[in-house]
Homo-oligomer: A and B are copies of this chain.
Amino acid sequence: MKGTMLYGPRDVRFEERPDPKIIEPTDAIIKLSAACVCGSDLWPYRGVDPVKQPVPMGHEYVGIVEEVGSAVRNIKPGQFVVGSFFASDNTCEICQAGYQSSCIHRQPGAPTGAQAQYARIPLADGTLVATPDIPADDLIPSLLTASDVLGTGWFAADAANVKPGSTVAVVGDGAVGLLGMLSAKQMGAERIIAMSRHETRQQLAREFGATDIVIERGDEGVAQIKDMTNGIGAHSVIEAVGTQEAMMQAIRSTRPGGYVGFVGVLHGVEIPGEEFFFSHVHLHGGPAPVRRYLPELINLIWSRKINPGKVFDLTLPLEQVVEGYRAMDERRAIKALLRP
């Protein structure tokens, strides 16, 4: 088959790869119906995360089950499935508490890479969720978002304790931040403040439910949020970037007793203890336990109540994956959809 490998900074290649095979009896092999490039793929692509050896890329996936291992009970060949970037048994104490992305048997969700024609998925019964039927083609982009970017935005809003009537600020206007806004709206937020200075992203933010746009960043952005909230800050803030500036902007935009949900993979961030102590903010985040939310998200998409697939503003054939990386790296695209 053909798949995507990263060899070093900005050296990504679409090339011949071995066909994935069942290794463990709990594995499944899926034929990808769609894949995409993740914001987090850009960290190693840009060389921020070192690449020590060539690595298969892609961890967001939907597809048709081709084959399952002898111990797989619930997932069957022919089903259309959605998975996540971590494989989980969905039965351990941590999974049962809703933290499947910290499953005690956690593995990479698609170790052979999902920017490919086929992928091996470990712990198939725990990891994959089948849709009610083979989906209409126009639902596929939205179902793909459930695999990571929507699931992550949803977790961010949940971790930020968004409730009906909440005022929510969102730091980061990438795909996760934008779908955090969609999630906050679904959870009943009354006011959703998008912190964004890019016009095309502002438009999508409004489509997804943003009621206000703040273009200022850092201390000025914080001052704007305070001005809009009687001087006390938002109830809930989503941090969807992962830098020091974004994290501090999030903490400082939150009222005492409020919540920051953070999902940008933190890079070089140190949270200053004394300031955090007096902020009275709740802080929670990390790698989203997407599996927890998949049944609900699939249902919302299937019934066409949400259309998160709009976040893909570039669609390419899978073999042009390299251009997908370039377009996202240069911020020409919010998120690139790849169709095999």
Residues in A lying within 8 Å of B, measured CB to CB: 93-94, 97-99, 101-102, 104, 230-232, 244, 247, 255-257, 262, 265-274, 276-287
Q: Given A102-B257, A232-B94, A257-B99, is A274 in contact with B269 using a C-beta cutoff of 8 Å?
A: yes
When the two chains form their complex, are residues B282 and A276 in contact, meaning their CB atoms are under 8 A apart? no
Q: How far is the CA of A282 from the CA of B158 in the complex (A)?
A: 12
Residues in B with CB closer than 8 Å to A262 are 277
Q: How far is the CA of A167 from the CA of B75 in the complex (A)?
A: 35
When the two chains form their complex, are residues B283 and A277 in contact, meaning their CB atoms are under 8 A apart? no
Q: Is the interface of A mostly helix, strand, loop or mixed?
A: mixed
**What is the distance, in angstroms, from A37's C-beta to the closest C-beta of chain B?**
21
When the two chains form their complex, are residues A273 and B270 in contact, meaning their CB atoms are under 8 A apart? yes
When the two chains form their complex, are residues B257 and A97 in contact, meaning their CB atoms are under 8 A apart? yes
Residues in B with CB closer than 8 Å to A273 are 244, 247, 266-271
When the two chains form their complex, are residues B277 and A287 in contact, meaning their CB atoms are under 8 A apart? yes
When the two chains form their complex, are residues B274 and A266 in contact, meaning their CB atoms are under 8 A apart? yes
Residue of B nearest to A285 (CB): B277
Q: How far is the CA of A281 from the CA of B285 in the complex (A)?
A: 8
Q: How far is the CA of A279 from the CA of B94 in the complex (A)?
A: 12
Residues in B with CB closer than 8 Å to A99 are 256-257, 280
**What is the distance, in angstroms, from A85's C-beta to the closest C-beta of chain B?**
13
Q: How far is the CA of A297 from the CA of B93 in the complex (A)?
A: 34
When the two chains form their complex, are residues B274 and A267 in contact, meaning their CB atoms are under 8 A apart? yes
24 contacts between A and B (CB under 8 A): A93-B230, A93-B232, A94-B255, A94-B256, A97-B255, A97-B257, A98-B257, A99-B256, A101-B280, A102-B257, A102-B280, A256-B286, A265-B277, A269-B272, A269-B273, A269-B274, A270-B271, A271-B271, A277-B285, A277-B286, A279-B286, A280-B287, A281-B284, A283-B283
